[in-house]
Amino acid sequence: MLTRSAARNIGTSQDAVAQKAVSEKGLVLAIAIESLPPKEFSGNARVHYHVRHAAGVVAQDEVIARVNAYGYKDGILDNPVIDVRWGLPDKRRRDWDNLIACTKPLIDGLVHAGVLKDDSVRDYQPRYGWFDSPREPRTEIRVYSKEGE
C-alpha cells in the first residue's frame, strides 16, 4: 500500500514525465509569477464583481509585464501548448477546478500581450501541473510552439 507521500511523488513524477513530452526546443516563452492565481476567480469566491475585476486586471498586467520583460517578439502563436504549473507553498488540499478557474486572468494576460489570438478552446492546448514550493507560492507559465514537437 502506498503512503500519501509516495502517491503524491508518483503523481509529481508522472507530471515531470508529461513535462518532457514537449521538447524544450519548442519553448517560446517562460515566465514566473511570485504568487498563486487570484483566488477571487475561484468558483467558491463570494466577492463583488468589482473586486474580481480589479484582481483580474492586476493579474493580467503582471503577465503582460513579464512577457515584455522576457522580450517576447514572436507574435500570435497558432495553437500553442500553454503549460501552467502552480508552486504550492503548503500541504493544504486544493481542488484542480478552482486552480484552473483562477488561472483565467493569466491566460487573458497572454492574449493582451499578443501571445495568443484568443483564449477559446481552439486557440491553445492547456496543460496543468503543480510542484512543492515551500513558503514561496508561485505560478509558472511556459508556452510551447506546435512546430517544436
In tens, the pLDDT along 48-84 reads 999 999 999 999 999 999 999 999 999 999 999 999 9
pLDDT at site 43: 85
pLDDT at site 147: 60
Phi, psi of 139 (to 5 degrees): -125, 125
- In terms of pLDDT, which residue wins out, 80 or 19? 80
Instruction: Say whether pTM exceeds 0.75.
Output: yes
Q: Which residue, 47, 82, 91, is CA-closest to 63?
A: 82
pLDDT at site 25: 72
Contacts of residue 141, defined as CB under 8 A and 6 or more positions apart, other chains included, come to: 29, 30, 31, 32, 33, 63, 82, 83, 84, 106, 110
From CA 17, how far away is CA 134, in angstroms rounded? 22
For residue 4, is pLDDT > 60? no
Domains of the chain, with CATH numbers?
4-148 (3.30.1330.70)
